[in-house]
A and B are shown apart, each in its own frame.
Chain A
Amino acid sequence: MTPAARSSVPKPTRVQLFVTCLVDRLFPDTGFSVATVLERLGLEVVCPPLQTCCGQPAFNAGFLDDARALARHTIDVLAAAPDPVVMPSGSCGDMVIHRYASLLADDPAYAERARDLAARTYEFTRFLVDVMGVTDVGATSDARLTYHACCHGLRGLGVDHQPRELLAQVKGADVVPLEEADVCCGFGGLFAVKMADISSAMLTRKLDCIERTGADTVVVTDVSCAMHMNGGLHRRGCPIRVRHIADVLAGSEAKR
């Protein structure tokens, strides 16, 4: 998006934060990092209290009725207010933006609301750069960073230049390239358990690339991929850590 196009988008003053189930219970600090960055831009952050899970695990496993139940719940939670919805995940974002409407196409009570929600749901970095028109969020870091492009954000939502632009503006940080940055880490949700051997082989390839960068921190836009890669790095005894971009941009030291 050009700077002119960015500035022509009316900027919201309040957002709804959908933290995602993984952030909620596994990486709560990341949720606060997201809120910190958004608040730094002067936005009021509301976190609708009844949110749980977008339903993607069931959807990707082919259990559409279970996925629909969770999609309806999420729509009920997020459609109560008209504000844009921000998610620190390209994966859950892709689910809400690209899957809800077809999943609920035959449900007269939800089809229209699913489309409405999709139209105002944003992955976190896309929201910062494409909607708010900001790449410098006042972050500082003395880390040596590299960037891995998470698949669903990259190929589902076009999330790639936004996080890279945001990282380029982090003062004091050294950003180094990651070989095969756009190749899947092998997570894939249940795939990592059901097809654990293939998933592990993909992870090995990814971690080898990471170890060759000389970076101390790998930045991603999905905590699910971070959880997967960190689990492998920790098992290897490698000190490199994968962090959600919000944790870097908030300048806060998250635990994982």
Chain B
Amino acid sequence: MNAAPASFYRRTADALADARLRGAVGRVTASVRRSRQAALDRLPDADAWRDHARQLRAHTIAHLDRYLDEFAAAIEARGGHVFYAPTAEDAIAYVTSLVRSRNLKTAVKSKSMISEEIDLNARLEAAGVRVVETDLGEYVVQLADDHPSHIVMPIIHKTRGEIADLFRAKAGATDADLTDVASMTQFARRTLRPEFLRADLGVSGVNFGVASTGTLCVCTNEGNGRLVTTLPRVHVAMMGIERLVPTPEDLTVMLQILGRSATGQNLTVYTNLINGPRPADETDGPSELHVVLVDNGRSRVLGSELAEILYCIRCGACLNACPVYQEIGGHAYGSVYPGPFGSVLTPALRGLETFHDLPHASSLCGACREACPVRIDIPRMLLALRADDAKAHHAPWWIATGLRVYRWVATSPRRFQTAGRLTAKLMRTTSRDGWIRWLPPPLSGWTSTRDFPVMAVESFQERWARRTKPPEQNPS
């Protein structure tokens, strides 16, 4: 993952001020939400598929040690190499040592969030390897020296016009190359094709690893994943340790819901199943396959109250469903993993010290839980992280003190009613027509855009008591 964020609040303010960003993110997420719903509606018993997928993920995560052993043994039996990387540095050291020993000079990459997580590109380049992203979105990100802002649609934050300008400035595109999206795509295709042919290293992510067979499943829509994993002489597949399914049959369950949840497709255009390096009697495929299993904090999450986040299949449905993500986009989260699942996963992997704002960046509306194909209870874990955060004394003083006072007041009905009455009277001194238009800090955030209603001097309970008991004195 990238450098620690300076300030969540500043990035959020920047995002909210960027009308073009919000317009782009709002339009695309709305369109994908409709496609997702239509794709699930086309699948008979979609809810049962989701339940089954959840059970599979829960089972796999509960027995991850066993399935990792099985997976590694199956890959090695077919002549592949498996490296378990406890940390990001271990993963990088393995890959950079590999490129040195094999004298690899040019890498083509298909989309891989785990390589973003460990910042592999920069480290490969430092080791003298030229790295070319070949997923169209990631290619744009690389040209722009930017970061993905969505795990499935990396350039959701960019408009067509921005990309045209970028292609012209950085890739030598002419006006004829930029007349429409189709011509721009053709331009990228022509530019990338020689890179595939030249590359001696292919780096891919892995959507699912099948434990019983050692199969790597790579889903793409552009076919670049197929070229990356077959043309160069060395293929390095990067994956988080949690991305396993037990059997090929289980893989079909996950594939039923992955494309539908991610983009509204029944299946991605390409679903590659890779079963090891090129055998002696075949002509296609790399001569070496290295599978790098990246832990980087995941085994610490196993067995914790946040383990459920490891069920995630990276479809991005929770991002598209989240009204907060729709307003601020992905970069504001300051992590490779943005949106609701990222607000759990990022602090889970990297700690609350730096990322303590993320679990609070949610109204807890539950749209993420509803959209998640494997029904991950993200709000529950956001709450658990908030509790950890409170224990670590990261909460603003006014919240900690305010809640302590509120507890003292609200555990005594008498204090509760007295405090309410006094507050109501105080509010009346500054209100007009029953509304307060200004509140002092730290409550000023409310009145920056909203009025606040004044409290009633006589509460419901006081009036109710008068109704049910004979009045001691005449009201008014």
User: Could you list which residues of chain A lie within 8 angstroms of chain B, going by C-beta atoms?
Assistant: 19, 21, 23-28, 31-32, 35, 47, 49-53, 55, 57-64, 66, 69-70, 73, 151-152, 154-156, 182-184, 186-205, 227-228, 230-232, 234-235, 255-256
Residue on A with the closest CB to B321?
A183
What does DSSP make chain A's interface, helix, strand, loop or mixed?
helix
Residue on A with the closest CB to B407?
A66
Question: Which chain B residues border A235 with CB–CB below 8 Å?
Answer: 437, 449-451
Contact of A49 among B364, B410, B413, B450 (CB under 8 A): B413
A selection of 18 A-B contacts at a CB cut-off of 8 Å is A49-B465, A57-B403, A62-B387, A62-B389, A66-B406, A188-B364, A192-B363, A192-B445, A195-B12, A197-B448, A198-B12, A200-B450, A201-B16, A201-B22, A231-B450, A231-B452, A234-B451, A235-B450
What does DSSP make chain B's interface, helix, strand, loop or mixed?
helix
Stretch of B36-44, B125-133, B271-279, B455-463 contacting A (4+ beta carbons < 8 Å):
B455-463
Output the residue of A28, A205, A255 with the most chain B CB within 10 A: A28
Q: Report Cα–Cα, A197/B458, bound state, in Å.
A: 33
Question: Which chain A residues border B324 with CB–CB below 8 Å?
Answer: 198, 202
Stretch of B51-59, B246-254, B285-293, B366-374 contacting A (4+ beta carbons < 8 Å):
B366-374
Residue on A with the closest CB to B412?
A52
Q: Report Cα–Cα, A131/B357, bound state, in Å.
A: 41
B284 at interface, CB cutoff 8 A: no
Whether the Cβ atoms of B420 and A25 lie closer than 8 Å is: yes
Whether the Cβ atoms of A25 and B456 lie closer than 8 Å is: yes
Q: Report Cα–Cα, A35/B464, bound state, in Å.
A: 10
* Residues 417-464 of B contacting A (Cβ, < 8 Å): 420, 423-424, 434-435, 437, 442-446, 448-453, 455-456, 458-461, 463-464
Residue on A with the closest CB to B360?
A194
A-B pair count, CB < 8 Å, reads: 198
Question: Which chain B residues border A62 with CB–CB below 8 Å?
Answer: 383, 385-391, 395
Query: Assuming the A-B contacts A151-B364, A155-B370, A198-B327, are A21 and B410 also in contact, with contact meaning beta carbons closer than 8 angstroms in the complex?
Result: yes
Report the count of interface residues on B (CB-CB < 8 A): 66
Question: Which chain A residues border B465 with CB–CB below 8 Å?
Answer: 49
Distance (whole angstroms) from the CB of B320 to the closest CB of chain A: 12
User: Could you list which residues of chain B lie within 8 angstroms of chain A, going by C-beta atoms?
Assistant: 12-13, 16, 22, 323-324, 327-328, 360-367, 369-370, 383, 385-391, 395-396, 399-400, 403-404, 406-407, 410-413, 416, 420, 423-424, 434-435, 437, 442-446, 448-453, 455-456, 458-461, 463-465, 468
Question: Which chain B residues border A28 with CB–CB below 8 Å?
Answer: 456, 458-460, 463
Q: Report Cα–Cα, A163/B403, bound state, in Å.
A: 33
Output the residue of B13, B22, B363, B412 with the most chain A CB within 10 A: B363
Distance (whole angstroms) from the CB of B359 to the closest CB of chain A: 8
Contact of A155 among B327, B365, B449, B468 (CB under 8 A): B365
Whether the Cβ atoms of B383 and A59 lie closer than 8 Å is: yes
Whether the Cβ atoms of B410 and A70 lie closer than 8 Å is: yes
